[in-house]
Structure 1
Amino acid sequence: MLLDGPAVASLTARLSEVDQRRAARYPGGRGGRQPVHTCYVPASRVGTATPRDWGEQALAAFEEHGFDLAPGLAGRVKTKLLREPVEDLRIDFEDGYGAPATEDDDARHAAGCLAGWHAEGIAPFSTGLRIKSFDTPALRDRGIRTLDIFLATLRDLPPGFVITFPKVTAAEQVEVFAELLGAFEDRLGWWRGSLTFEIQVETTQSIVDSDGRLAIPAFIAAGGDRVVGLHFGTYDYTAAVGLGAGQQHLGHHACDFARHVMQVCAAGTGIRLSDGSSNVLPVGDTQDVLAAWSIHYGLVRRSLEHGFFQGWDMHPAQLVSRYAAVFGYYRESLDRDARRLAAYAERAAGGVLDEPATAQALSASLLRSVDCGAATAEEITQATGLSMDVLRAYHRRAV
């Protein structure tokens, strides 16, 4: 005998609020394109052609020093450096900039350069700035003033604009910053919610708070829909946990712990993750450059294998090893991912029974390969037998 319908309904009704909370907090992937990197350029070094200059410097380094890549990969990397060398760029007013007396003028100049990049058609897919932290009243006031000057000079908000909020240690900082952005929008006449930001996870307090709880969920709740990313800060974090200089690198297990916490806290929220940087720069003679490229290549591959599809680049020549690693990663998995997705679509997995979540992940990987230039839409369609619209539907789990 089956349970009485009204009795079951009265019990499960108690879960409706749970369902609503879960749907609001975990809406799923954000969709659209995620850059493979964020390039940090000190505000004092920003110029009218910075994105193009980075590409030219990277290409010159590639041609001077060479880099042993798989057949066909070198051509793809060179094409990328010519057509779209920088996918995401942050004008840095924090650690990479310092505290010069010219910050007001630099903020106006940098905002003018950003507007100029868009007018000239050389702007990266996404851009923004990193302000100073809210660590102390002096830094907080300086960061707010710089942001105020920058936005007022910019006037019109360009597409893909995002602000980096560094060294967060408390949810209240995130809450105040989110409200501050609302005040800027009101003053400038921009629509509410147009200013978004990414939180830098580079303090121990951004992993575990003073009460012993994971801190990131509270950060996300405090920032609401304005929080679009979590970016790991390699060197501040490794220093904060007491590692010596020789152990301060992305491959350290302390970084793995922090990244895994970020990953679990962001899963299902639509908030994107970015890994940190390598301070071993490809400069000097060929031997030094190749050694630095090898280190950076390995770290980028490691990040990708851990599910971090974006990372920081601090020097133009790092674009060579960035794209070599990213393109190699996606092209090596392209055929396998395409076959599995095609089999899933035909409901004939050939011994591998995949779930809808796996199809979502496979389509996401193939879409990312097209977004960054590792593969073309035609290649993906030919390999899977599926249109890009169908892949996007799988990614949204709409099929």
Structure 2
Amino acid sequence: MSRGRRERVATSLPGAVGAEIGAFLAPVDAELRRRYPGDPGTRQPVHTVYVPADAFAAGTLRSWGDRALAALDEHAPDVASFAAAVGMDPALAEAVYGRVRAKLEREPVEDLRVDFEDGYGDRPDAEEDEAAARAARLIAEAHRDGTAAPYAGIRMKGLEAAVRDRGIRTLDVFLTGLAEAGPLPPGLVLTLPKATCPEQVTAMARLLGAFEAARGLEAGRLGFEIQIETSQAVLAADGTATVARMIRAAGGRATGLHYGTFDYSACLGVSAAYQAGDHPAADHAKAVMQVAAAGTGVRLSDGSTNVLPVGPTARVHAAWRLHHDLTRRALARAYYQGWDVHPGHLPTRYAAVFAFYRESFEQTAARLARYAARTAGDVVDEPATARALAGHLLRGLDCGALDHTEVARATGLTRSGLEGFAFPHRGGPPARAP
């Protein structure tokens, strides 16, 4: 282009055409906003701890933390022994090990699920009623005295015919107990297991709506997770992805999709010796879940391992290595949450999570800083990548893998600045660190 020359700009379309196209697409725009609102921007726990309802007590969370610390003391009392046990680079382990111990002392459990399903089994009605009422009382008391996990709730029995009435009653007893103890606590989570069809999800949404009406709660206050544990939940008889229809059937109440490793594997006929989170059948199911949930604000959780870190040190180390590697594998596949079923899993859960965020911290922070400052680097990043970079740092901050000071120093951004890049649909320019 010659300097100083102004190009003649010409158009051919009548002005009304743009307005007509806008009117035509307006309903589609609204539907896309409704179905794909984006990530809610709240903290996502790195795990869910499952505790059978009959074993849940006021000191459960502290007990899990203490038992996890005792396992470290016995089987990996220093950085070198822990690094060798899980196969972690010693330099990275140096930055992780102390953080793991501090986490176990400060906040050993991020998400607690009192289990009334497989981990509890079939009990007399009076016994399950009592357990549901006790769970409500203990969770309410924990919130009052400041010892509650950031997220907590129950896994009820499902809505399949054989256990439907019991599941509904347990849900009612638990929620009623919480409601009578005061305002429903923040971080309340409810889990619907073994959903096989969208109609069961719709029924769960109606149950929660009925409870809200009965207690005078704001409509939509209660949400729930859907456990994907059957082949029918992934692929329907007509070949469509049932899980995508389940999200829609929840009417905006679905908060998460949780993969059920062993029920799902058994449903497909996978032999017990090969039922694991890295089986090809598991990868397929979780990939379908991931695509179905993308953009909806519904979060994902991986399943668990049934190999417990108990017994002599060699056996504990083998179980730790397995759990660490499965957790690390899931994180790389954007499954940022999983189940833990034993206190001995906590050290390797947090070690894998902290290492995941710390090993990539410098590169991630530098890329985001360059993007924010609009300076060139060796990678050309786009807005979508900036969202991923900022989201990665926020998750690291939320779990304790990263510190606000080091993130602000490396990126030049405050937390609200990170959120501005991670959640641009909220609006507002990203804030710079002072």
Smaller-chain TM-score bracket: over 0.9
Give how far 1:227 is off.
0.7
Number of residue pairs the alignment of both structures matches: 398
The 5 Å alignment of 1:121-132 reads 121-132=146-157
Residue 289 of structure 1 deviates from its aligned partner by 0.9
Matching residue of 1:105: 130
Indicate whether 1:91 and 2:114 are aligned: yes
What's the counterpart of residue 27 of structure 1?
Answer: 37
Equivalent residues in 2 for 1:100-249, closer than 5 Å: 100-101=123-124, 102-136=127-161, 138-154=162-178, 155=180, 156=182, 157-249=184-276
The structure with the largest alpha-carbon Rg is: 2
- Which amino acid in structure 1 is aligned with residue 177 of structure 2? T
Alpha-carbon distance in structure 2 between the residues aligned to 1:134 and 1:388: 41
- Report the counterpart of residue 57 of structure 2 in structure 1: 47
Question: For 1:389 and 1:160, how far apart are their aligned partners in 2?
Answer: 21
Query: Once superposed, what is the RMSD of the aligned Cα atoms?
Result: 1.2
User: Are 1:301 and 1:329, in contact at CA under 8 Å, matched by a contact in 2?
Assistant: yes
Deviations 1:182-209 (A, max 9, x none): 1112222322211110000111111111
Counterpart of 2:432?
none
State the Cα distance separating 1:158 from its structure 2 match.
1.0
Task: Structure 2: state its 5+ residue gaps.
Answer: 1-10, 77-81, 430-434
Which whole-Å CA distance do the structure 2 matches of 1:121 and 1:113 have between them?
Answer: 12
3-state SS in 2 of match to 1:45: coil
Matched, 1:59 2:59: no
Deviation at 1:12, TM superposition (A): 4.5
Structure 1 residue aligned with 2:279? 252
Superposed CA deviations along residues 10-64 of structure 1, whole A, max 9, x for unmatched, are 2443222111111111111110110000000000100011111111111111111
Q: Compute the displacement of 1:112 (Å).
A: 1.5
Residue aligned with 2:251, SS: helix
User: 8 Å contact 1:199–1:231 — kept in the other structure?
Assistant: yes
Q: Which amino acid aligns with 1:82?
A: E
Match for 1:77: what amino acid? Answer: V
Give the Cα separation in 2 of the matches to 1:241 and 1:257: 12
**Distance (whole Å) between structure 2 residues aligned to residue 172 and residue 349 of structure 1:** 52
Q: Residue 340 of structure 1 contacts residue 349 of structure 1 at CA under 8 Å; is this kept in 2?
A: no
Structure 2 residue aligned with 1:38: 48
**What letter is aligned with 1:126?**
Y
SS of the equivalent of 1:163 reads: strand
Q: Which residue of 2 aligns with 1:341?
A: 368
TM-score, with structure 2 as normaliser: 0.90
Aligned to 1:6: 16
Asked if structure 2 preserves the Cα contact closer than 8 Å seen for 1:42 and 1:96, the reply is yes
Moved more, 189-198 or 232-241: 189-198
Letter in 2 for 1:73: V
Deviation at 1:263, TM superposition (A): 0.7
CA shift, 1:152, in A, is: 1.7
Residue 87 of structure 1: how far off its partner (Å): 0.3
Is the Cα–Cα contact under 8 Å of residues 49 and 117 in structure 1 kept in the other structure?
Answer: no
Q: Is the 8 A contact 1:36 1:87 kept in 2?
A: yes
Q: CA deviation at 1:349?
A: 3.1
Q: 2:279 & 2:188 partners in 1: Cα distance? A: 32
Q: Shift of residue 283 of structure 1?
A: 0.9
Which of 385, 394, 403 is residue 367 of structure 1 equivalent to?
394
Residues 300 and 326 in structure 1, CA contact (< 8 A), matched pair in contact too? yes
Equivalent-residue separation in structure 2 for 1:367 and 1:100 (angstroms)? 42
* Superposition deviation, residue 211 in structure 1: 1.8
Q: How far, CA to CA, are the matches of 1:184 and 1:248 in structure 2?
A: 38
Partners of 2:50 and 2:380 lie apart in 1 by 43
Instruction: For 1:240, give the aligned amino acid.
Output: C
1:272 is the counterpart of 2:299: yes
User: What per-residue deviation string (whole Å, max 9, x for no partner) do you get for residues 283-325 of structure 1?
Assistant: 1111111111100000000000000000000001100000000
1:249 match: secondary structure? coil
Letter in 1 for 2:158: S
Contact 1:58/1:319 (8 A) holds in 2 = yes
Question: How far, CA to CA, are the matches of 1:343 and 1:17 in structure 2?
Answer: 38
Separation of aligned partners in 1, 2:389 and 2:242: 31
Alignment map for 1:247-326 (pairs within 5 Å): 247-326=274-353
Give the distance between the partners of 1:116 and 1:55, measured in 2 at CA: 19
Structure 2: distance between partners of 1:178 and 1:120 = 31
For the residues of structure 2 that align with 1:182 and 1:61, how far apart are their CA atoms?
44
Identical residues among aligned pairs (%): 52
Give the C-alpha shift of residue 121 in structure 1. Answer: 1.2
Please give the per-residue CA displacement for 1:239-296, whole angstroms capped at 9, x wherever unaligned: 1111001110001111111111111111111111111101111111111111111000
* Aligned-partner Cα distance in 1 for 2:251–2:361: 35
